[in-house]
Structure 1
Amino acid sequence: MKKLWLLLFIAPLLATATAYAQPPQSITPQIRDLSWTDESFLNTQRKRIARLAGEKIGAPIRGTKADLTTLQRIIERELISQSDTSMQQALGVALGDALMNEESELEWKVYEDKKGHSRALCAMSVNECLFPVTMLSRRMKVGLKPDVKKIYLEALYLIADSLPPLPYGGKREYSIY
C-alpha cells in the first residue's frame, strides 16, 4: 500500500520535472496580413501624429519621405515626452509609411514569434521584416534624439538585399532628398 501511495505521489513530480527538462519548442515566426484591429491601430497612430504635426509644427503628414523633416522637428522640439511610448510609436508608424512609400516591395504585416505579435514592414517575397514602430521609440525612451533620416536610410539598406533584384541588375540607391 505504501508503494502505491509513493508511486501516486512521485509519478506526477517526475512527469513535471521531465517536462521542464525538455528544451522549449521554438516557435517559427509567422507573418500574416493585418487584421481589422491592426489596421485600426495603425490608422489611429497616423491620425495622432498628423494632429500633433499639424498643431505644433504646422506641417502635414503625407506618408512620404517628406515627413522625415517633420518627424525630426517633433523630436528636436521634444513635443513627445520620454515616457509617452504610444506617441513615440506613432512617430514610428509615420516612419514606416515613408519607408513603404519609398520601397513598393514593403507592406505592413503582423509578425508573430515567441515574444508576441508586432506590426512590421515586410518584404512581400521573403520573410524579412523591419520594425519601424519601435525604431524611434526605443531610442527616445532612453533619452536619445534619434536622427530620423539616418534611421530611414539604414532601414532601407538593411532590407534591400532581401528585395527582388531590379531589372537589368541595377542596384538600389536611396536618398533622403
Structure 2
Amino acid sequence: MHLKKKDIMPHLTRRSVCSLAILLTCAATEAEERANISELSWTDKQYMTAQIQQVDELVRDQFGGQLHESRADLDLLQRVINRGVIDKSNVQTQQALGMALGNVIAKETGMKWYAYKDSNGRNRALCVPETDHCLFPVTMLSRRMSVGLYPDVTKLYSESMEMLEPHLAKSPYDVN
C-alpha cells in the first residue's frame, strides 16, 4: 500500500492536535498539583504554641522534665510514646508530639514552619526556606501511633535529617 502526502497530512494534524491537548492537560494538572507554601497565619501560630505547651505540661507532669527544642527532647517524646501516656485515639495530642519533634528539627536545621496547601488539603509543614523541600513532622508520629505502633523518635529524626541534608544551606566552614 502506497500512501500519498494528502493522505498523511490530515492524520498528522489530528495527531498534533491530540498531542497538544494532552500536553496542555498535563501542564494544567501539574500546575494544580503544585503546592502553595505560605507563611503561617496568626491562628496557626497560636494553635501550635498551645499544642507545644500541652506537650511540655505533659512531660513535666509525667517525667519532671521539660522541652528545650534540643535533641534531649527526643528522649522525652520517646518516653511519652513508650509509656502509652497518649491514647491511640487522641490524634490531636499525638500531632502535638509531632510539632515538638518538628521544633527540634527546625532548631537543628534552620528550617521554618509554613502553611502547605496542595490538592490533598492544608497542612503545617517544616520547609527549607525559599525551596519546595518540606517535611511533615506533625503527622510523622500520629500516623504511626493512631494504628497502635510505637514509633522510634530518634530513628525518624535521623532519617529526616539524612533526607534533608542535601537541601540544607551549607556553612562556609563545613569540610564536606
Asked if Structure 1 and Structure 2 have the same fold, meaning a TM-score greater than 0.5 normalized by the shorter chain, the answer is yes
CA distances 1:122-157 after superposition (whole Å, capped 9, x unpaired): 001311100000001011111110110010111111
Alignment partners' CA distance in 2, 1:28 and 1:115: 11
Overall identity of the aligned pairs, in %:
40
User: In the alignment, what sits opposite 1:59?
Assistant: 65
User: In the alignment, what sits opposite 2:146?
Assistant: 141
**Residue identity opposite 1:32 in structure 2:** S
Q: Do residues 42 (structure 1) and 66 (structure 2) align?
A: no
User: In the alignment, what sits opposite 2:91?
Assistant: 85
User: In the alignment, what sits opposite 1:122?
Assistant: 127
Aligned residues, how many?
A: 149
Tell me which protein shows more helix as a share of its residues.
2
Residue 164 of structure 1: how far off its partner (Å): 2.4
* Residue pair 1:107, 1:121 contacting (<8 A) in 2 also: yes
Alignment partners' CA distance in 1, 2:156 and 2:168: 18
Residue 166 of structure 1: how far off its partner (Å): 3.4
SS at match of 1:136: helix
Residue 170 of structure 1: how far off its partner (Å): 3.2
Larger radius of gyration: 2
Q: Which ranges of structure 1 fall in alignment gaps of 5 or more residues?
A: 1-21, 172-177
Alignment partners' CA distance in 1, 2:157 and 2:33: 30
Q: How does 1:1-177 map onto structure 2 within 5 Å?
A: 25=29, 26-104=32-110, 106-167=111-172, 170-171=175-176
Alignment partners' CA distance in 1, 2:163 and 2:175: 17
* Residue pair 1:27, 1:113 contacting (<8 A) in 2 also: yes
SS at match of 1:118: strand
Q: Which ranges of structure 2 fall in alignment gaps of 5 or more residues?
A: 1-24
Alignment partners' CA distance in 2, 1:52 and 1:169: 38
Residue 168 of structure 1: how far off its partner (Å): 5.6
SS at match of 2:167: coil
* Residue pair 1:61, 1:67 contacting (<8 A) in 2 also: yes
**Residue identity opposite 2:79 in structure 1:** R
